[in-house]
Amino acid sequence: MNDRGNSGPAEPGSTHQRPGGSGADDPLRERLVSSEVLRRGRILEFRIDTVEAADGHRSTRDIAGHPGGVCVVALDPQDRVLLVRQWRHAIGGALLEIPAGTLDRAEDGSIEDHALAGARELEEETGSRASTWRYLGGFYTAPGFTSELMHLYLATDLTAVDEGGLAPDEDERLELRSVPFTEALAMAERGELQDAKTLVGLFLVARLRDAAET
């Protein structure tokens, strides 16, 4: 784990090891035979991949290609975690989540640096900036069908942004909640928080805190 202390988000081009990688000699490796792109959307690329296993058996995989995302556990000076409530059309309801967003893809195909994206999303969704950032790692959100790699940060030493700061995207409608960290954990344990990245972030930060106290 990398702790950048008070340095703020890393400069563009910073990299972290991609989790889950395996070599060409992995006996479970599937070789890509062909790929049929069905549709390219604003964020996702939908395709059907034909793959071949080591024993020669061929199968198809429905894939949603994704540029990746970033999420932030942001703690204010009162040890409250900043959560945003927003409507999720795919599930037909609203969820309470930590700030997060998709990495932007440039016209040349390059992907936005996740550290800079984390700072942007925090400001857009909560109206806050952080002077202390810690990268906690990356995890795949649903590797059975999408390549989305979510990067997780801990942001502390928060300050409110004055007028002129970044605002949510035009299609975002958000409600900001400041919840004591211990209460947010209790909500997660009671099953009141159902967003995966939020659960991962809260429980990992809680684990790090416990380890620091022992």
- Check residue 166 and give its pLDDT: 60
- Check residue 21 and give its pLDDT: 62
Q: Which domains does the chain have, with CATH numbers?
A: 31-65 (no CATH), 69-213 (3.90.79.10)
pLDDT one-digit tens code per residue, 84-135: 999 999 999 999 999 999 998 888 888 999 999 999 999 999 999 999 999 9
- Check residue 2 and give its pLDDT: 41
- Check residue 22 and give its pLDDT: 67
- Check residue 170 and give its pLDDT: 62
As a whole number of angstroms, the distance between CA 72 and CA 118 comes to 7
**Long-range pairs of 185-189 with CB within 8 A, sequence gap ≥ 24:** 187/96
- Check residue 17 and give its pLDDT: 44
Q: Which amino acid is at 211?
A: A
Among all residues, which ones are annotated catalytic?
A: 170
- Check residue 14 and give its pLDDT: 39
As a whole number of angstroms, the distance between CA 118 and CA 114 comes to 6
- Low-confidence spans in the chain with pLDDT less than 50: 1-17
Residues 6+ apart with CB under 8 A from 81: 73, 74, 75, 98, 178, 179, 180, 181, 184, 202
- Check residue 159 and give its pLDDT: 94
Full-model pTM: 0.85
Residues across the chain:
214
